[in-house]
Structures are given as structure tokens and as C-alpha cells.
Amino acid sequence: MSGQVDYYELLEVERTADDARIKSSYRRLAMQYHPDKNGGCKDAEGKFKAISEAYDCLKDPQKRAAYDRFGHAAFQNGGGGGAGPGAGFEGFSDIFETIFGAGFGGGNQRQQARRGADLRYDLEISLEEAYHGKRTSVALDVSAQCEPCSGSGAKPGTSIHTCSQCGGRGQVRAQQGFFVVERTCPACHGAGQVIAEPCASCRGEGRVDRQKTLEVNIPAGVDEGTRIRLSGEGEAGARGAPAGDLYIFIHVKRHPVFQREGTTLFARAPISFTTAALGGSITVPGLDKVDHEIRIPAGIQSGKQLRQRGAGMPVLQGRGNGDMVVQIDVETPTRLSARQKELLEEFRETETGEECPQSTGFFSKLKTMWDEL
């Protein structure tokens, strides 16, 4: 079945799907068809093996490229029969190595146990948490080392034997015309060792799916897209191979007051027109939990920016802070008492035009333009 059905169809993804989409679909299907969850059903076991074979191919960039170009023929030895995904492709690389020398495909040495896959976790935090930093817990489903067999894949109390077919080299030689080609050993699949009695818990894989919780330290000053690497906290490698890494990607929620650009914080502050005219001060609570007094010079206009040094975001893994920039918006009153209106009328009667030079200049320019026309 797995040799005929399209790998993308097996994993229920499009041919253009990225690695994350393919992995997510595989994990979902693997949990659905795992033999332990289906009471030993042969159909489920066959489906599980088929999707595992498809994922083993598509998660590897080289194998996927070969499959996209040649289909299942890319993994057939000499056009007849197959040793599973990777066998034929290993053969292709070995042909090039025989002609051009070692280094193209890994060649004459036993295949190294594959390192576990790296994982990504997206963590959303508030701007306040980005400012102060925090320590938090994350829970994720991951392939971890099998405890009963300590990751070896062998049943506890049993041993792992050197493959008799390849003598532990992981490669076997075959004559193809004028060439002597080394291919992945079909008996041990390149491992160089054979497990006589697989571990019942992990079925010889050396790893099992489980949920684990990790403590993550978020340093002060992190920004949108900051990546935190946790070494060895990714997928466990097969049969005791090293684990991959976990990458925490930080996403910062939108703040109701502040906008951020690097270490600079921006905020808009409405002030009354009397404060704008006469001057004064306003108080802006910062993310540093300090009330910052901003002095307003007399005659300030809307759009003017006032800078408060050192009240911005911390420098990530550095010293000091950026600045806080407050943009002034002069607010025109909409609800006036009778007395306030009376006072404003008195003020208007005393205006000479010099109080607002910008508006006076604007209308003077308009009048000159129309006179010229």
C-alpha cells in the first residue's frame, strides 16, 4: 500500500505544504492510527506504517526533492523492489561518491543515528512582561526518550547485535555494470546494529510521545520575533541519538497606550487648549511603574513630540533603557459652561491675529492668491 499511494495523500497535505504543516498532520494521523490505540487492528497498523514511511521521506529535504521529481521510483534499488524510503536515494548518492570521491553522500561509513527534530513554540506575552521579563511554564507534546529501554529500542534485559549482513558498517556493496556501489544495508537500514527483541513501550524506536512541561526564562527587553533556544529540549533522537532543540518565538500583544519601535516607547497624550496655550505639565505612568512628569511649554501645537530619556524599553541583554516619546494632541473643548463661553468671547474680542501666527499667515496667503487671480 505505502509503495503505491502518494505520500502527500497519505499525510493529507498539499504538495506545497511546508515542513511544519507536514509534521503537524503526521503527528495527528500517527496518534489516530497508532496500534496501541486501535487494539492491534491490522488495518490501523498498516496505515500507521504507511504514514510513518511517508513522513520519513517528506521530512528530509533531499528525499522529498527526489520524491517530487521521480515519485516512488526514486527509492527503488535498480528499478526493482525497494528497501523503504531513502534506500534508493542513498544509492544515487553513493554512485556520485564512487565517481567523484567521498563527501557527496556519507559513503562508506556506518549511518549515524539521526538527531531529533527541532521544535518551535509560539509564546504570547504582554508589553509589561516584555519590559520586566518573566519566568513561565510551557507544556508541549514531544517525542521523548523511552524510559524502559533508556532510548536503545531494545527490550530491557536483551542486547543489540551487530548486523551480520553488513558487519556493522551499515552499508552493503553491489556491482552495477562497471561500478561498485555501496548502498544502505537493507537488514539494519544503515544502523549497523539489529534489535532482536524490540522494546514493547517504544516498538524499537527508542522514543515515545508524551507531554512535558518546561520552565522558560523570558529576559527583559524581548521584542516581537525574539527567538529563545532551549538546547536538547526538542524531539528525542531515534535509538539514543541526541535530541533536537526547542525554539521559543516571542509574540508581544498590542498595548492600549504604548507603541514600540526597538527600545523607544511612543504614546499620544491629549491636553486641554488652555494647557497648550499657557503651558503646564502632565503625568504619564511608564511601564517602569514610575509616574513621569512631562513639562508642557506654552504655545505647544498638536503633533509636537516630547522625549523622556530612559523611560523606554530595556536594552535586551545590555544596559540602560530607551526613551519614551509623548506626542501632544491639543483637544478642543466640546462642553462649555455659559461662563466659559463668555470668557472665550471676551478673549476673541481682544484677538489681534498675532496670537495664532500660523492661521493668520495661512489666510493672508489665500487672500493674496485670490487677489492675483
pLDDT at 70: 74
pTM of the model: 0.58
- CA-nearest of 118, 20, 105 to 62 is 105
Q: 166: annotated binding-site residue? A: yes
Q: 149: annotated binding-site residue? A: yes
Among 20-34, 106-120, 203-217, the minimum mean pLDDT is found in: 106-120
Orientation of helix 19-33 relative to helix 42-58, angle to 10°: 160
pLDDT tens track for 227-248? 999 999 998 887 778 889 999 9
- Burial grade of 62 (CB within 10 A; 0-12, 13-18, 19 or more): middle
Residue 37 has pLDDT above 60, yes or no: yes
Q: How far apart are CA 77 and CA 72, in angstroms?
A: 11
Residue 98 has pLDDT above 80, yes or no: no
Cβ of 215: how many Cβ atoms within 10 Å? 9
- CA-nearest of 81, 64, 68 to 23 is 64
Q: How far apart are CA 63 and CA 90, in angstroms?
A: 9
Q: How far apart are CA 101 and CA 95, in angstroms?
A: 10
For the chain, the average pLDDT equals: 82
- Dump the DSSP string for 119-133: EEEEEEE-HHHHHH-
Among 234-248, 322-336, 351-365, the minimum mean pLDDT is found in: 351-365
β-pairing, 171-176 vs 179-184, is antiparallel
pLDDT at 145: 87
Residue 326 has pLDDT above 70, yes or no: yes
Please tell me the chain's helix, strand, coil percentages from 3-state DSSP, rounded to the nearest 5.
Answer: 30, 25, 40
Q: 146: annotated binding-site residue? A: yes
Among 5-9, 41-45, 102-106, 361-365, the minimum mean pLDDT is found in: 102-106
What is the mean predicted confidence (pLDDT) over 313-319? 91
pLDDT tens track for 332-345? 998 999 999 999 99
pLDDT at 78: 39
More confidently predicted of 266 and 182? 266
- Dump the DSSP string for 158-216: --EEEPTTTTTSSEEEEEETTEEEEEE-TTTTTSSEEESSB-TTTTTSSEEEEEEEEEE
Question: ∠ CA 119-123-126 to the nearest 5 degrees?
Answer: 165
Using 50, 70 and 90 to split pLDDT, how confident is the model at 372? low
More confidently predicted of 305 and 353? 305
Looking at the structure, give the CATH architecture of the domain made up of residues 266-372: Sandwich (2.60)
Using 50, 70 and 90 to split pLDDT, how confident is the model at 363? low
Using 50, 70 and 90 to split pLDDT, how confident is the model at 35? confident
| DSSP letter (8 states) at residue 11 | T
Q: Which residues of 253-264 are buried (b: 16+ CB within 10 A; e: fewer)?
A: eeeeebebeebb
- Residue 277 falls in which region: left (phi positive, over 0), alpha (psi -120 to 50) or beta: alpha
Q: 356: annotated binding-site residue? A: no
Q: How far apart are CA 339 and CA 325, in angstroms?
A: 36
- CA-nearest of 11, 216, 241 to 121 is 216
Q: How far apart are CA 124 and CA 319, in angstroms?
A: 25
Is the Cβ–Cβ distance between 128 and 313 less than 8 Å?
no
pLDDT at 33: 84
Q: How far apart are CA 85 and CA 60, in angstroms?
A: 10
Say which residues have a Cβ less than 8 Å from residue 285's Cβ, sequence separation at least 6: 291, 292
What is the mean predicted confidence (pLDDT) over 118-147? 92
* 77 φ/ψ angles, rounded to the nearest 5 degrees: -80, 105
Q: How far apart are CA 218 and CA 222, in angstroms?
A: 7
User: Torsion over CA of 352, 354, 356 and 359, rounded to 10 degrees?
Assistant: 80
